[in-house]
């Protein structure tokens, strides 16, 4: 009985520690001081926008489409150890396809106010959508959600509150509760319950899942499960891990471009960016 009691006390201590540390583990990018590209100076062809939410305001970078007419647009959510500058290459490649892109910072990251949580991120992305959909250069009925890693959760949460024409999810996960079980933490103790699986079961629009076959942080099987759950999903598997994807940028953007054409976001004449 004494051994059992010691074991239970040890587990209770472990679970308590994880409960209070989970946000520091989930949102390590909050310790990064400023955007990874540009610093205090904005990169070329980038407009800085402040978006309000209950915790203050978050920074977003708007990369306009070169098209003179209202164009499709992308709301981009980066990974948990990144900042908006890390999505700039993606944004410029998408802009070359004829799309405007809004890179949204998480609360508590970079120059954004507040603290990161599922609730604050959800608020920030709803504010981002409302700003983008009202922009004169954006075609409101062709807004796409693009999320990488943790960002996949931000985008699927947004899809529950606003209309997205299509989703592009790179290295997505099934749910945060699934990861909690790795650490022997019950799902009910998860504070930020991003649940991509639940959302994709009800999302009837087109979904592109892009995942590295050698990903050890979020294993490829996560996208396999998501693809089976979604009504209209495609899975592109790449020869890479988590942080070294994509191995070939032109092929990666070509797959995204082809998906967006099939989803009637882009016209068939659009060429993939290199």
**pLDDT value of position 273:** 56
What confidence tier does 26 reach under pLDDT thresholds 50, 70, 90?
A: confident
- CA of residue 138 relative to chain centroid, distance: 20
Q: Is residue 21 part of a domain?
A: yes
Q: Is residue 273 part of a domain?
A: no
Domain holding 19, by residue range, is 2-262
Q: Is residue 267 part of a domain?
A: no
* Alpha helix (H) residue ranges in the chain: 2-26, 88-96, 118-133, 150-159, 176-180, 196-202, 221-229, 249-262
**pLDDT value of position 55:** 93
**pLDDT value of position 54:** 96
Q: Does 10 or 66 have the greater pLDDT score?
A: 66
Q: Mean pLDDT across the chain, nearest whole number?
A: 90
**CB contact burial 96-113 (16+ within 10 A = b; e otherwise):** bbbbbbbbbbbbbbbbbb
* pLDDT exceeds cutoff 60 at 11: no
**pLDDT value of position 38:** 61
**pLDDT value of position 213:** 97
**pLDDT value of position 222:** 96
What is the CATH number for 189? 3.40.50.1820
Q: Does 21 or 89 have the greater pLDDT score?
A: 89
Q: Is residue 269 part of a domain?
A: no
- Kindly state the DSSP code that residue 85 receives in the 8-state scheme: G
* pLDDT exceeds cutoff 80 at 17: no
**pLDDT value of position 190:** 76
Q: Is residue 33 part of a domain?
A: yes
Q: Is residue 93 part of a domain?
A: yes
Q: Is residue 194 part of a domain?
A: yes
What are the tens digits of pLDDT across the range 209-265? 999 999 999 999 999 999 999 999 999 999 999 999 999 999 999 999 999 999 999
| Residues 207, 266: Cα–Cα separation, whole Å | 15
CA distances to 26, 75, 92, 260 from 115, rounded to whole Å, are 12, 20, 28, 33
Q: Is residue 168 part of a domain?
A: yes
Q: How many domains in the chain?
A: 1
């Amino acid at each position: 009985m004494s051994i059992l009691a010691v074991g239970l006390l040890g587990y209770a201590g472990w679970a308590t520690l994880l409960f209070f540390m989970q946000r520091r583990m989930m949102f390590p990018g909050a310790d990064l001081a400023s955007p990874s590209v540009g610093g205090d100076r904005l990169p070329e062809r980038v407009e800085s926008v402040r978006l309000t939410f209950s915790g203050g305001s978050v920074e977003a970078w708007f990369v306009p489409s070169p098209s003179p007419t209202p164009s499709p647009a992308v709301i981009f959510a980066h990974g948990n150890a990144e900042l908006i500058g890390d999505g700039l290459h993606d944004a410029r490649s998408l802009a070359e396809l004829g799309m405007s892109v809004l890179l949204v910072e998480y609360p508590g990251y970079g120059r954004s106010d507040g603290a990161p949580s599922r609730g604050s991120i959800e608020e920030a992305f709803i504010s981002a959508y409302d700003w983008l959909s009202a922009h004169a250069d954006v075609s409101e009925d062709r807004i796409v959600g693009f999320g990488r890693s943790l960002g996949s959760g931000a985008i699927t949460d947004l899809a529950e509150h606003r209309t997205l024409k299509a989703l592009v999810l790179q290295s997505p996960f099934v749910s945060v509760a699934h990861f909690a079980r790795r650490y022997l933490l019950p799902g009910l103790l998860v504070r930020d319950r991003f649940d991509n699986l639940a959302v994709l079961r009800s999302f009837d629009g087109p979904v592109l899942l892009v995942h590295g076959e050698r990903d050890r942080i979020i294993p490829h099987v996560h996208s396999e499960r998501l693809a089976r759950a979604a009504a209209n999903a495609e899975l592109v598997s790449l020869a890479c891990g988590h942080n070294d994807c994509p191995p070939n940028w032109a092929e990666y953007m070509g797959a995204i471009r082809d998906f967006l054409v099939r989803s009637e976001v882009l016209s068939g004449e659009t060429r993939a960016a290199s």
